Amino acid sequence: DSGVTQTPKHLITATGQRVTLRCSPRSGDLSVYWYQQSLDQGLQFLIHYYNGEERAKGNILERFSAQQFPDLHSELNLSSLELGDSALYFCASTRGRGRLQETQYFGPGTRLLVL
């Protein structure tokens, strides 16, 4: 158990809908990273937050947004969902300001299925 929690574990929704994925980092960790994993695209970095502020963006679509709250949990919002958004979404946390040289602890993931 990494200490990172993600909810929900599974999510089934329809095209055009909007969903929110939640991540709670390990106690004391200030950085949260979001990743998308799909069969065709592999593992892709989406976005990184440190202590409530956005630090880096990867291949995140404009339909997707994220935020990190004062209690350091983070939410990833996916809107206008398409079939191709079906994937596993992981978050990871690190203790410090978020240099990637720090070990990232991954959560168990949320499996999203868009029908």
Partner 1 sequence: QQQVKQSPQSLIVQKGGISIINCAYENTAFDYFPWYQQFPGKGPALLIAIRPDVSEKKEGRFTISFNKSAKQFSLHIMDSQPGDSATYFCAASINDKIIFGKGTRLHILP
55 is a contact residue toward partner 1 (CB under 8 A):
yes
Taking the complex as a whole, the smallest distance from the CB of residue 77 to partner 1 amounts, in Å, to: 20
38 is a contact residue toward partner 1 (CB under 8 A):
no
Contact 86, 78 (CB under 8 A): no
Residues 4-23 that bind partner 1 (CB under 8 A): 4
By DSSP bridging, strand 110-114 and strand 10-13 are parallel
By DSSP bridging, strand 31-38 and strand 74-78 are unpaired
68 is a contact residue toward partner 1 (CB under 8 A):
no
96 is a contact residue toward partner 1 (CB under 8 A):
no
Nearer Cβ to partner 1 (1/14): 1
Dihedral sign for Cα atoms in the order 67, 69, 74, 77:
negative
Tell me which of 18, 69, 82, 99 binds partner 1, using CB under 8 A: 99
Report the b/e string of 1-18 with b at 16+ CB within 10 A: eeebebeeeebebeeeee
Region binding partner 1 by CB under 8 A among candidate stretches 12-20, 21-29, 43-51, 61-69: 43-51
DSSP 8-state secondary structure symbol assigned to residue 92 = E
Contacting residues toward partner 1, per CB under 8 A? 2, 4, 42-45, 48, 55-58, 90, 92, 98-101, 103-104, 106-109
